[in-house]
Every structure is written in structure tokens, then in C-alpha cells.
Amino acid sequence: MDRPFGLLAELTYRCPLACPYCSNPIDLAGYRDELTTAEWLRVLEEARELGVLQCHLSGGEPLLRRDLVELVRRATELGLYTNLVTSAVGLSRRRAEELRAAGLDHVQISIQAEDPAVSDRIAGTPSYARKIEAARVVKELDWPLTVNVVLHRQNIDGLADIVGLAEELRADRVELANTQYYGWAWRNRAALLPTRDQLERAEKVVREASRRLAGRMDVVYVLPDYYEQYPKPCMGGWGARQLTVAPNGDALPCPAAQTLPLPRASVREESLVRIWTDSPLFRRFRGTDWMPDPCRSCDRREVDFGGCRCQAFQLTGDAARTDPVCHLSPDHGIVVEAVRAANEEERPDTLVPRPHRAGSS
């Protein structure tokens, strides 16, 4: 595949929540100059020209953009399948009806835990009740609904009740995704990484739920990388299937790539087509020619593409290294040590919340 099929449009990093596992950049100062409505409309048109079929409208909280309805309407006119990725704080019935009329295809709502008090504590603000109300509105308007729950040590023991909540909300899909350790999640890794016992219990819950709900609700479960034998193929391969546009116009092969010491690419300076095809950023780790050993000689090199470049850089300081999650990596001991610490009896539980940064534009 030489064209992407998915665009993650991160409209803003402003957010009413303060989740301690947020993967958005820690330093938000560089993202205050957000793309204008006209710039986003051009990005959508260039994305369609490039071959994109799916547009995921995310953030931060995309509902904080006053032009969201206009952007959805234009994406629909271009023939893009649109998915709103939201905390649902601010998804009033009126706003929902406007988005429905504009052609929005799907809504994904994040919930932090099944218990209202725990959910509000993790979110850093009272929000659970508004999320549940918004989820009910979504189903009343006959939208497909995905409930997304980021799992970690402080909520994974409630997994059975989380699935039960998704059932009660009549979700079409529940995504149970263990935390990826970037941004604020990296700072809080010691308090977030679950134990082996927690994961074993969780997997039993997921197996039972998948069997019981087959044909009624899709149950998607993503293991934490640190407990895997091999790394995941990040984004289906670097610059292969999807791309991200950040609020300031940076175009990225994956949402966390702004952390890497690579040349930047901006939609304010070049077209999306040219960025995808020719930019050094998108070409740097595309394919397999860049790989060192053990990846270069591994039979899995076109399966997992050496794993996550951002995780390799996060853990080793070198984005070209084999992802240390892989048991064949010379740096695998870094992950082994993190897992060992997570399974000690005495572990930190205090979370550093992401600062609030709300507002409107």
C-alpha cells in the first residue's frame, strides 16, 4: 500500500480532562497556534486526494472547536467516513443533532472506569455522569457507539463491570486498550503498569465476554506492550497506512512521532500529498531497508516492522533500535526490569495528572 487510508485529525490539544495517561505532548506551548478552519478544510481535501477514506476527529477534545460541525460536513461531502473521538464532555443533545445532520458516521466515547468516583478521580474532574448521558444520546440518535477504556493498574480490576457498563449503554464495540507509555503516561508508568496477576484475571474476563457477546458487541482487547513477546506493528508500519495531523499543522507518521529528533513536516508549508510521498520524516523508517540487526535478518521484519520507533527512542534514546519490547532486542532488559518493578509488593500509586487546558476557538 502506497497511500494511507486513515487520517487522525488532532484538532486541538485543549481538553477539559486531566487524565494521567494522556499520550499528547507534555509541552503544549508549541500547539497553541491551531490550524484555522480554512486550513483544516484544505487538509481534508488534500487527504481525500491522497486516498484517505477514514477521518478520525480527535484531540485533546475536538468538541472545543467551534468549527467541528463545518469540518464534519466537508469531510462528509468529500466521501470520508468520519469518527468523533471524544471525552463526551460538551456533547449536548443540540450539538449531537448538529453533528448528525452534518453527516458524522460514528462516535467513540472514552470512559475512565466503571465506578463514577474512580472515573472522575482518574479524569481529574467530575465527568462520568455527562459521559453516560452523552452515550445515551448517541444511541438515541441511532449512531454506532464505541466505548473506549484505557486500562492500567488503577482500573483493570474492574474490567468485568466495565464490559457490563458498555452493554448497558448498548455499545456496538468496546475497546479495552492497555496504556501506551508516552507523554504523561510515561511520567506515570510506575503507577500505571499492571501486574501479571491483574493481566491474567483480565484476560479471563475478556475471553468470557467475547464468547458471550459474539454477534452483539465487538470486544477489542489490547495487551500492554511490555508483557508481549514481540512488538506490535506500530500504525501498520511507519508511513504505510495512516497519518496524523497535529493541531499546529505538523504531519506525523504516528501521534507520538513529535518526540523524535527528525525533520518536521507541516501542512502549513507543504501539501499533504508531498509530505506523504517525499518528506524525510515519512521516508525515514518506511519499509525495511533502514533496519539494523536483529530486525534486518528476522523473519518477522515485515510483520512488526521492528516495533514502535517512538518506544525505541523513549527507552534507548535511538529511534532506529529494535523496539526493546521484542525478546530478541539487545535492549530487552529495560522492559524486563520495568515489569519486575511493576510486580513488586511495594509499588507507587500516586499519579501526576495532566494539567487542564480547556477553552474554545
Residue 188 makes CB contacts below 8 A (sequence gap 6+) with 20, 21, 351, 352
19 is in an annotated binding site: yes
55 is in an annotated binding site: no
Residue whose C-alpha is closest to residue 359's, from 66, 85, 64 = 64
* Identity of the amino acid at 352: V
15 is in an annotated binding site: yes
Q: 141 forms bridges with which residues in the sheet?
A: none
Side-chain half-sphere CA neighbours of 39 within 13 A: 17
Q: 110 is written with which cell numbers?
A: 472514552
Are 226 and 333 in contact by the 8 Å Cβ rule? The answer is no
The pTM of the full predicted model, rounded to 2 decimals, is 0.94
What is the full per-residue pLDDT of the chain (361 aa) written as tens digits? 588 999 999 999 999 999 999 988 888 778 899 999 999 999 999 999 999 999 999 999 999 999 999 999 999 999 999 999 999 999 999 999 999 999 999 999 999 999 999 999 999 999 999 999 999 999 999 999 999 999 999 999 999 999 999 999 999 999 999 999 988 899 999 999 999 999 999 999 999 999 999 999 999 999 889 999 999 988 889 999 999 999 999 999 999 999 899 999 999 999 999 999 999 999 999 999 999 999 999 999 999 999 999 999 999 999 999 999 999 999 999 999 999 999 997 777 778 777 766 554 5
C-alpha 78/C-alpha 158 separation (Å) is 41
Are 186 and 314 in contact by the 8 Å Cβ rule? The answer is yes
Q: Assign residue 88 a region (left: φ > 0; alpha: ψ between -120 and 50; beta: otherwise).
A: left
C-alpha 228/C-alpha 287 separation (Å) is 23
C-alpha 123/C-alpha 106 separation (Å) is 23
